Amino acid sequence: MTLSQLADIGELVGGVAVVASLVYLALQVRQNTRAVRGSTLHLNTDLWASLFLRLSEPEVAQAYVAGMTGGRDIKPLHYTQFFFICKAMFLALEDQFHQARQGTLDAEIYAAYERATSAQLLIFPGFRDWWQQTRSTFSPSFVARVDAMIAATPEADPGALLREWQRIAQSRNPAA
């Protein structure tokens, strides 16, 4: 075997090694992407679960209900609590918006967050008022998205969700 033939074999082995390394790297990137997405979803779920449990506490729930009506007679303490509840929610939503745009949050999951935001927050006057008051503190792309969601979501009075619950319960048990 000549030196030239050995060099050809070395190039072949080197080429195979490079291809094998690229395949391994692609598999590692795919596995890492799945892990990042799973972790992102877990963190988002934990964040919302903690926030909702906190909102169920009577004192916080009173501020939340007082704020969502958008009434001018809201007590200063309730306004302050509602303001920071909204700030926490919308910071989380903005984070999720950017995560979805970057591909670290599944688009289907983010679409569900948007549907819930429209149906359970943006329909109420207090959230719309809060948004008008603070929208300049968020990124322009997020502002544009929330503005579009508000434009596409009819406003409802704060009793709408309760009435829907009662209607569903009544249809399930008409005799009650």
Count of H-run helices and E-run strands, the chain: 7, 0
64 vs 53, more confident: 64
Cβ atoms of 153 and 147 closer than 8 Å: no
The mean predicted confidence, pLDDT, of the chain is 86
Share above pLDDT 70 across residues of the chain, in percent, rounded to a whole number: 83
CB atoms within 10 A of CB 144: 12
Encoded amino acid at 155, one letter:
E
DSSP-assigned states of every residue in 36-51: HHHHHHHHHHHHHHHH
Q: Give the pLDDT score at 111.
A: 95
pLDDT category of residue 75 using cuts at 50, 70 and 90: very high
Cα–Cα distance measured from residue 114 to residue 145, given in angstroms and rounded to the nearest whole number: 10
Reported pTM: 0.74
Provide the pLDDT for residue 51.
77
Q: What is the pLDDT of residues 7-45, one digit of tens each?
A: 777 777 777 777 767 666 666 766 666 665 566 666 766
Position 131 pLDDT exceeds 80: yes
- Tell me the domain boundaries of the chain: 38-172
What is the arithmetic mean of pLDDT over 88-100?
A: 94
What CA–CA distance (Å, rounded) separates 176 from 169?
A: 9
Q: Which of 156, 159, 86, 91 is nearest to 119 (CA)?
A: 156
